[in-house]
Structure 1
């Protein structure tokens, strides 16, 4: 088992990080989130065209890069850190589901970036459901594909990623496999945990930078023992979260028998750790952190939304306990 990024993975990380820093800095994220579409289609087009990220885990024979989930985790960590608006995570989850159930015909258009897809994760609620060309719904072992139907936008906590309720009545069954759907759900958990790792890291980086320049009572706030201890605790959570995500991504590619427990652990620990770090980073900013103009609340809201996206942590803790026969 290797928890350290390979040279190729480091280069992928650097490329995605540099791209997002140039085309989607936080001021641009705010503008995109407040726009009619909720994201910048040009950024999404370039993300898929120049970097080919929509097809990252799509098999090569279907127009993708054929990369593994370890590479996908690297990318999602960076999109999470940048709070990238739009349907990238939604389409990633749909790609995972289609690949696992063996439905290949829909993958080329997704890999090309011409089809925006999503998955209804909670009944009829779907990330970017209003913008998606294709909505996949899981009904037990069955997977349904919905191309039309009514889409009702929802008011969400996270303004950087929209959700909608989708009328699933016109859904057509495209696959049925209890084993494949179960594995896809585990892979969802790993993907979301990777994004959470990015949000956690960016939150910590932001408050560490602030602690180095904010002066109160004639001293930098980073010199106060209470602040130093809190930052150290946050860093420990980051280190543990990174190890858990790297192990889960490795298991997804190399050790399928370890994936269920690794995925459950990822959601049980990383989701809560991400929210706690985002919360504390907001609090340590003091009064300015509570203002609409400051970016701290954007990380806080993404962290809370991601924490419950696949069910609250207690659900994953219970599943992990069952898998470990505790």
Structure 2
């Protein structure tokens, strides 16, 4: 395995006036280290085996990423025990996790929950997540878009009561960040909640129902701004995961078509397939630009709302298209359970709903740039 870079150096400031979509040397070194680790510890057969077990999360891999490499604290300032890096470095990590469909709670804990805690100024919990002493999960349904309404629990006599559904990675959480009807965001010990697994489409990112029946909670701050900030970061960096997924499936498809032969010639040489692969490559290049722009905008905190909406309005369709093409162009083997491509298709389909659909982000983008929807077309009357 190659020498792992210091994420602190990866987060060194890069002064620039506008968006920078290129990867720095430090970011490429970070990518290489994460990819080496995933190659050694997150092989496709192992991921498939986990989806058939009662422990779909790879906790040892998560501990290695979070504590061993310090990646859980990329978004956390150094004075709070983190690496003082930015969303750009977190995006690189998510690209590699997307390439491996790694069953770890990086997006939900190191990004979404961490952003919520930073918004509330809960320094002790931020440090716990950054140092991998705990794993946190924001108890909001995975499909919730930034700024969209979401379910809350009832706060009564200092305790919390209610049920929240479709909470991603709740099964491995130590701390749940729970929004309540009094407008507060509460930290709840996961052991005080009843967590019931739900059957997800994506078996590598399990969902659960969280039920609270008189659980004690510590109020951290106002829920609305914290949840909005957390979901915005989650949506923006999800595009990088979708990019990694699209790149892996495209590369695997090209490699397969170079080897598979019909009529004594490689299938990849057929003109119709060349056109499909060229179109897929172009879409992936555009997705890379959108995802990098979103990560850079979040890092600079400039025009982040627009950049995130643009990235998510585009990313889902590309990731799903790449995965669908991989299944189809792999032929019969692509339809089998033993081949991992179905994991990528399910992750792509699940990601298309996570943190808001493409349609929801298009509506948000239209409002952000003051672009009203076109008026409805007049009804056409036909003679009888």
- What residue number does 1:33 align with? 51
C-alpha distance in structure 2 between counterparts of 1:210 and 1:191, whole Å: 29
Q: Does 1:131 align with 2:176?
A: no
CA deviation after TM superposition for structure 1 residue 196, in Å: 1.0
CA deviation after TM superposition for structure 1 residue 29, in Å: 1.4
Q: Does 1:155 align with 2:174?
A: no
Equivalent of residue 329 in structure 2, options 272, 279, 284: 284
- What residue number does 1:246 align with? 292
Query: How many residue pairs end up in the alignment?
Result: 325
C-alpha distance in structure 2 between counterparts of 1:209 and 1:134, whole Å: 43
CA deviation after TM superposition for structure 1 residue 142, in Å: 3.5
Q: Does 1:203 align with 2:274?
A: no
- What residue number does 1:104 align with? 123
Equivalent of residue 317 in structure 1, options 358, 362, 373: 362
- Mapped contact 2:242–2:315 kept (Cα < 8 A): yes
Identify the structure with the greater helix proportion.
1
Q: Which shows bigger deviation, 53-62 or 205-214?
A: 53-62
CA deviation after TM superposition for structure 1 residue 32, in Å: 2.8
C-alpha distance in structure 2 between counterparts of 1:12 and 1:56, whole Å: 11
CA deviation after TM superposition for structure 1 residue 241, in Å: 0.6
C-alpha distance in structure 2 between counterparts of 1:267 and 1:167, whole Å: 30
Q: Does 1:69 align with 2:111?
A: no
- What residue number does 1:167 align with? 211
- What residue number does 1:237 align with? 283
Equivalent of residue 238 in structure 2, options 175, 192, 208: 192
- What residue number does 2:317 align with? 272
Equivalent of residue 294 in structure 1, options 333, 339, 342: 339
Equivalent of residue 262 in structure 1, options 307, 315, 333: 307
- Mapped contact 1:48–1:112 kept (Cα < 8 A): yes
1:86-107 Cα shifts (integer Å, max 9, x gaps) = 2222212211221133221102
The change in CA–CA distance for 1:257 and 1:149 in structure 2 (over 3 A counts) is: same
Q: Which runs of 5+ in 2 are unaligned?
A: 1-18, 142-150, 152-163, 372-384
CA deviation after TM superposition for structure 1 residue 309, in Å: 1.1
- What residue number does 2:60 align with? 42
C-alpha distance in structure 1 between counterparts of 2:310 and 2:66, whole Å: 31
Q: Does 1:142 align with 2:184?
A: yes
CA deviation after TM superposition for structure 1 residue 108, in Å: 1.8
SS at match of 2:209: strand
| TM-score scaled by length of structure 1 | 0.95
CA deviation after TM superposition for structure 1 residue 181, in Å: 3.6
Q: Which shows bigger deviation, 69-78 or 169-178?
A: 169-178
Q: Does 1:16 align with 2:34?
A: yes
- Mapped contact 2:113–2:177 kept (Cα < 8 A): yes
C-alpha distance in structure 2 between counterparts of 1:198 and 1:52, whole Å: 21
CA deviation after TM superposition for structure 1 residue 286, in Å: 1.5
CA deviation after TM superposition for structure 1 residue 177, in Å: 5.9
The change in CA–CA distance for 1:215 and 1:155 in structure 2 (over 3 A counts) is: same
Equivalent of residue 137 in structure 2, options 118, 126, 132: 118
1:301-323 Cα shifts (integer Å, max 9, x gaps) = 00001110112211111111111
SS at match of 1:121: coil
CA deviation after TM superposition for structure 1 residue 33, in Å: 2.9
C-alpha distance in structure 2 between counterparts of 1:7 and 1:28, whole Å: 31
C-alpha distance in structure 2 between counterparts of 1:192 and 1:146, whole Å: 26
C-alpha distance in structure 1 between counterparts of 2:249 and 2:353, whole Å: 18
SS at match of 2:75: coil
CA deviation after TM superposition for structure 1 residue 257, in Å: 3.7
Q: Which shows bigger deviation, 62-71 or 28-37?
A: 28-37
The change in CA–CA distance for 1:139 and 1:213 in structure 2 (over 3 A counts) is: farther
SS at match of 1:212: helix
Q: Which shows bigger deviation, 97-106 or 242-251?
A: 97-106
